[in-house]
């Protein structure tokens, strides 16, 4: 299919048919590429560093290798609980009866008494801040009746999120040969959790939580070391080693770090800090275009209207080496002949962004509104125009 091609940079602006477009100056000279050093050595079995907005992976090792998640499992449990709250199936004020199964959980605990009733809100804080296995199982039973059914829900949601390397058999992260995930999957999950539930994500920045007269600190040491870190979750078993999913927000750029299998509590914090510092030092994330904002106006044939506005259906973010923004160039390809009817959201071209001759982003240009077929006379006039044009 033939396409019309518009080229533009991200520096100069030109107003075309009432729409602000970005113009490529043919005489412009791209800035010299900034050399980005490789990621520093990280003492862990696997890790990944990813930008939250663009999804760009800035560093990784064994990111797709199956590993034991330990209490990082509770990120998936929390995602499901948050979704139940969002849909109104449960409420923060709901009182949950602590079963003997939940009460007998080993490892990290919130120390909820068997037979007592505890609010969903307190159990969430116990699960997130104290990493309480008893609180997690109690929540799982409250949502699904049994922990095994809740685990099935976890696997279903993992599939929906695109976590292709994960399988869960329990809610709290107890060791099991069939209970595993990957660093990449945990980054996918964390990204979704922060994006979908920002109102609940703030729980991950709590430094401590007191329940039943016992105050327990958040085991994420970065919360006390780095003011830009606001989460996320620790995990540890003898077989999994020391694990940490962390996230930090600096100058409107958010990074997610996943470190699996470090040698100690302090090491997982240090290695995570090293990854975050590397990403913020050498990369920068830009929002190039906003969703649902017109990027082009094109002629539409045989429709109720003569013009169709095209744009993006989601924000276009790009993570690039620092200092390279002015070197970006973009081109916009648009279908040469668009005929009504037009469905809102239907693609009629693409925006392509290039850095140093390499494509770094591509996103569909879609119709920002629906346009029905025009009347008989309009269709006839346009048919003649197309015939002789």
In angstroms, rounded to a whole number, what is the distance separating the alpha carbons of residues 321 and 155? 36
Active-site choice (9, 54, 74, 166): 74
- How far apart CA 128 and CA 91 sit, in angstroms, is 17
Vertex 175 angle, CA 172 and 179, to 5°: 80
Catalytic residue from among 9, 54, 71, 333: 71
How far CA 150 is from CA of 78, 155, 261, 371, in Å, comes to 11, 9, 26, 45
User: Which residues have C-beta within 8 Å of that of residue 88, sequence separation ≥ 6?
Assistant: none
Q: Which ranges of 172-287 would DSSP assign to H, the alpha helix?
A: 183-196, 198-201, 222-225, 265-282
Structure tokens given for 38? 């490789």
Confirm whether 358 is a catalytic residue: no
Active site residue 116: no
- C-alpha to C-alpha distance for 259 and 232, rounded to whole angstroms: 12
Is 188:163 a contact under the CB 8 Å cutoff?
Answer: yes
> Measuring CA to CA, how many Å separate 199 from each of 115, 247, 250, 260, 291?
30, 16, 19, 27, 22
Whole-angstrom distance, CA of residue 186 vs CA of residue 45: 14
Look up 257 and say whether it is catalytic: no
C-alpha span between 62 and 71 (Å, rounded)? 20
Q: Which residue has the tokens 């020391």?
A: 242
Catalytic residue among 9, 54, 108, 131: 131
Cite the active site residues: 71, 74, 131
């Amino acid at each position: 299919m033939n396409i019309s091609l518009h080229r533009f940079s991200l520096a100069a602006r030109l107003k075309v048919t009432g729409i602000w477009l970005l113009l490529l100056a043919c005489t412009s000279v791209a800035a010299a590429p900034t050399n980005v050093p490789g990621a520093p050595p990280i003492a862990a079995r696997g890790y990944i560093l990813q930008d939250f907005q663009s999804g760009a992976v800035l560093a990784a090792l064994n990111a797709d290798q199956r590993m034991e998640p330990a209490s990082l499992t509770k990120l998936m449990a929390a995602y499901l609980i948050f979704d139940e709250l969002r849909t109104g199936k449960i409420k923060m004020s709901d009182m949950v009866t602590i079963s003997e199964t939940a009460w007998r959980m080993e490892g990290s605990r919130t120390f909820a008494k068997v037979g007592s009733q505890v609010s969903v809100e307190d159990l969430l804080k116990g699960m997130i801040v104290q990493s309480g296995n008893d609180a997690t199982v109690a929540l799982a039973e409250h949502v699904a009746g049994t922990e095994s059914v809740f685990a099935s829900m976890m696997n279903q949601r993992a599939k929906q999120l695109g976590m292709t390397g994960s399988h869960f058999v329990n809610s709290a992260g107890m060791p099991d040969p069939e209970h595993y995930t990957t660093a990449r999957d945990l980054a996918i999950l964390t990204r979704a959790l922060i994006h979908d539930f920002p109102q609940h994500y703030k729980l991950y920045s709590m430094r401590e939580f007191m329940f039943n007269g016992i105050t327990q600190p958040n085991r994420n040491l970065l919360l006390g070391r780095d003011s830009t870190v606001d989460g996320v979750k620790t995990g540890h078993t003898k077989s999994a080693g020391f694990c940490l999913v962390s996230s930090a927000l600096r100058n409107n750029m958010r990074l997610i770090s996943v470190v699996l299998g470090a040698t100690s509590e302090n090491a997982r914090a240090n290695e995570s800090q090293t990854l975050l510092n590397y990403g913020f030092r050498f990369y920068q994330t830009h929002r190039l275009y906003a969703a649902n904002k017109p990027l082009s106006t094109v002629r539409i044939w045989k429709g109720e209207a003569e013009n169709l506005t095209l744009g993006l259906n989601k924000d276009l973010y790009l993570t690039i080496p620092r200092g390279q923004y002015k070197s970006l160039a973009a081109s916009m390809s648009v279908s040469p002949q668009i005929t009504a009817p037009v469905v809102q959201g239907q693609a009629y071209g693409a925006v392509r962004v290039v850095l140093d001759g390499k494509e770094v982003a591509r996103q569909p240009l879609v119709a920002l509104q629906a346009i029905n077929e025009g009347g008989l006379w309009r269709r006839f006039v346009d048919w003649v125009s197309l015939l002789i044009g």
